[in-house]
Structure 1
Amino acid sequence: MRFVVPNVLSCLLIVATCSPAAAAEVPARDPAADAAGAAPAESSAAAAGATIVAEELTLTNGRRLIGNYDRERGVLVLLNEKTGKRQGEMRVKLEDVASTKPMEITPQATQPHGANGSWLTDYAKARTVATATKRPILIDFTGSDWCGWCVKLDAEVFAKKEFKEWAKDRVVLLKIDFPRRTPLPAAVQAANDQLAQKFGVTGYPTVHVIDAASETSLRKWGYQEGGPQKWVEQMVTGVPALKGLAWVKNAD
């Protein structure tokens, strides 16, 4: 039995425009091979983050494909160029291949939670992530449900897409909250009080950028109007230790 895969599958990982006339045929799987334990859809190498050996095929019509090519069967196992994950199979005749070259795919490691622009609430966890990623910790001491300036800082800076893009590759974000309307668990409240005392916090919002290893504050900051870029630029100006946090506008 043979299955005809819709044209869209043949367009996977194609840099040039895909011809709508092309159709990919995938031979039926061998039931005996399946029973014996065929290879899973994703290789263990991809899951483990190891380097994956693949081929880059350029077809006579200009298409560029990435995967593992079985020349005897005329079948290409398509792989995602960034992750190495299997994307399916398509039939490619040898006479339609203009050139091939070997390549290696190194799956991009998934960043730990807290190193991707998301806010943590546990200081110990933030230090662990910051140490692993060699980044400073940006701590926002806030009164989220009663402090007007805290609400403004969150709305005008922290909630903005531009700030999130800036933060995700530069700092570990930690929010230490002191709400009044929603009491915190006793253990969390005690930990937050202790951290505020450690860094001499007496008002809100107070922002500290700290070195995770030494637990020393590199910069004390607060609310400043003007949006994310101005806030970041003023925070890092004149602080050599924060040179690596300089604002770089992302291209749209």
Structure 2
Amino acid sequence: MTGKVYIVGAGPGDPDLLTVKALKVLREADVILYDELIGDEIRELLRSLKAELVDVGKRAGKHKMKQNEINELMVKLAREGKIVVRLKGGDPFVFGRGGEEAEYLAKHGIPFEIVPGITSAIAVPAYAGIPITHREFDPAVVFITGREWKERLNWKALAELNATIVVLMGVSNLEKIVKKLLENGKNPKTPVAIIERGCTLRQRVVISNLENVVDVARREGVKAPAVIVIGDVVRLREKLAKFLQNLGNFDHAEGN
């Protein structure tokens, strides 16, 4: 008898942002294949469950298990009749390869279900006091990956678009992203926020502008994981952060 695979979003790191359905599925699982970016507190929660835990985390250049191996393992476990949870940080369909994994399961006739998660692209700026939309500012939001599988972004269109830009997985390529935007006409004074380890007690926010952010990030030793927000909405943090109660307001701003 074939089991079932759940492709589940763990949210951005704060365990309180794990959905009710995600928690229900985790409690029912026989095996949980979890990613690096689920967060320390959610990893601790997993240890209290009955499921077998398999760390399949991937970071740039450091893969505990290759994507094709993860795909094959999901199929193997499901064919053994097990309930499998593929647990991914944020939302599995927002730069999380969830679509690729769903394709592979469908190709091999494995029943699966998608459990969306709260994406870090929205939640991390929110916890830092940066609403990614506000009617006084840009009327659109663009999510981009900082690590393209192949070069396809239209940087000229992106630089000219009246939109807030949210970059996931962009720290290692920050210099390239900034260079491309500036070369294509983006205002060098555009505010930028880099939110490191967002939605965790180790959250840190670095504020600068487009022409200086690379130097500031280097000086402050910014590291992944981080979400980058480029746009005038970043200015709102100055008004909101003092009174913001997310995470007990433990984060701090540096830079400029």
- TM bin, normalised by shorter chain, reads under 0.3
Higher-helix-fraction structure:
2
Higher-strand-fraction structure:
1
Q: Which structure: larger Rg?
A: 1
What TM-score results when the alignment is normalised by the length of structure 1? Answer: 0.26
Higher RCO (CA < 8 A, seq sep 6+): 2
What TM-score results when the alignment is normalised by the length of structure 2? Answer: 0.26
